[in-house]
């Protein structure tokens, strides 16, 4: 298989008879074409499909936006440390959350099958997990970088994954990070600690980060550049 770029799309040349065009839920456009098909033919094909591609991508995006609002119903996928778990809601006489790793299940036990109640229990559980894990990751990186901080706070943050007040040596981490992979959490911790030495995102800052995490760009990409920290 050979891959080439045509009109900005990755086109895979394969032993196929026709041009195939697919879009997956990750919004990736996949185009495969016969081995020796002339490039102008492929361009024409893509042009004829472009408005359709845009329409499908818009639709997927809209669905994704709607999905961010959980209903806390059995069958929903909830994330924890970068893994998706199937939520199972059980009514009992106490409130708790149990992670069944081997079954890839998140058991939400609640007294009341009520949205607000379930949301509260789940958020509390995520917060407790973050409070256990983030200080450990912080301690690890403080040792590696030979730094010290005055205060670590873990709280929900609307637009950022973390923040650093380098004068006071205070660091904030977004509770939501507990849903991300450990790699992403480590990156945000390193990023905020790097601000103690480099307040701005200059060359020095990124050189420093890269020295300790050569593949940090991958983490940034995973975290989505729309979030500033
Ligand atoms: Zn920053």
H or E element in which residue 155 lies = strand 151-155
Same domain, yes or no, for 210 and 153?
yes
| Tens-place pLDDT, residues 100-153 | 998 999 999 999 998 889 999 999 999 999 999 999 999 999 999 999 999 999
Contact 217, 211 (CB under 8 A): no
User: Is the model's pLDDT at 227 over the cut of 80?
Assistant: no
Residue 30 in domain: yes
DSSP symbol at 104? T
64 CA from centroid of ligand 1 (Å)? 27
218-228 core/surface letters (b: 16 or more CB in 10 A; e: else)? ebbeebeeebe
Same domain, yes or no, for 93 and 44?
no
Same domain, yes or no, for 90 and 110?
yes
Rounded Cα distance between 198 and 190, Å, is 12
What is the pLDDT, as a whole number, of residue 69? 77
32 CA from centroid of ligand 1 (Å)? 40
Residue 215 in domain: yes
Coil, helix or strand for 63? helix
What is the pLDDT, as a whole number, of residue 153? 98
Residue 19 in domain: yes
130 CA from centroid of ligand 1 (Å)? 20
Reference 7, options 29, 23, 34; nearest CA is 29
Strand partners, 31: 11, 21
State the total domains in the chain. 3
Residue 84 in domain: yes
H or E element in which residue 97 lies = strand 96-100
| Tens-place pLDDT, residues 190-212 | 999 999 999 999 999 999 999 99
90 phi/psi in degrees, rounded to 5: -130, 135
Domain boundaries, position 191: 129-223
Domain boundary (17, 38, 67) is at: 67
Contact 164, 142 (CB under 8 A): no
Residue 63 in domain: yes
H or E element in which residue 123 lies = helix 115-145
Same domain, yes or no, for 113 and 169?
no
Same domain, yes or no, for 196 and 135?
yes
Same domain, yes or no, for 118 and 198?
no
Q: Is the pTM of this model over 0.85?
A: no
Same domain, yes or no, for 48 and 82?
no
Same domain, yes or no, for 205 and 133?
yes
164 CA from centroid of ligand 1 (Å)? 8
20 CA from centroid of ligand 1 (Å)? 42
What is the pLDDT, as a whole number, of residue 116? 86
Residue 228 in domain: no
Same domain, yes or no, for 36 and 90?
no
| Tens-place pLDDT, residues 6-32 | 998 999 999 999 999 998 877 888 999
User: Is the model's pLDDT at 228 over the cut of 60?
Assistant: no
Same domain, yes or no, for 39 and 100?
no
User: Is the model's pLDDT at 39 over the cut of 90?
Assistant: yes
Residue corresponding to tokens 């329409």: 55
Residue 135 in domain: yes
| Tens-place pLDDT, residues 178-192 | 999 999 999 999 999
Same domain, yes or no, for 162 and 200?
yes
163 CA from centroid of ligand 1 (Å)? 7
Same domain, yes or no, for 33 and 115?
no
User: Is the model's pLDDT at 75 over the cut of 60?
Assistant: yes
Residue 72 in domain: no
CA distances from 137 to 107, 174, 214 (A): 26, 14, 18
166 CA from centroid of ligand 1 (Å)? 11
| Tens-place pLDDT, residues 158-176 | 788 999 999 999 999 999 9
CATH of the domain at 173: 3.30.2010.10
Domain boundary (42, 67, 92) is at: 67
Residue corresponding to tokens 């990023």: 191
């Amino acid at each position: 298989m050979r891959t080439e770029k045509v009109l900005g799309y990755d086109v895979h040349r394969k032993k196929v008879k026709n041009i195939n065009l697919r879009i997956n839920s990750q919004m990736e456009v996949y185009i495969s074409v016969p081995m020796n098909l002339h490039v102008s033919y492929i361009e024409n094909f893509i042009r004829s499909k472009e408005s359709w591609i845009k329409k499908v991508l818009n639709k997927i995006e809209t669905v994704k936006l709607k999905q961010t609002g959980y209903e806390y119903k059995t069958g929903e996928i909830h994330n924890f440390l970068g893994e998706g778990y199937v939520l199972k809601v059980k009514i009992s006489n106490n409130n708790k959350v149990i992670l069944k790793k081997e079954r890839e299940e998140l058991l939400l036990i609640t007294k009341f099958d009520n949205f607000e109640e379930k949301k509260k229990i789940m958020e509390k559980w995520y917060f407790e997990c973050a409070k256990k894990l983030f200080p450990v990751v912080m301690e690890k990186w403080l040792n590696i970088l030979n730094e010290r901080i005055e205060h670590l706070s873990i709280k929900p943050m609307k637009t950022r994954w973390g923040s650093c007040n380098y004068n006071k040596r205070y660091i904030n981490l977004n509770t939501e990070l507990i849903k991300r992979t450990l790699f992403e959490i480590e990156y945000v911790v390193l990023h905020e600690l790097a601000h103690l030495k480099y307040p701005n995102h200059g060359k020095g800052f990124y050189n420093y980060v890269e020295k300790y995490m050569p593949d940090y760009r991958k983490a940034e990409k995973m975290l989505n550049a729309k979030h500033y920290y």
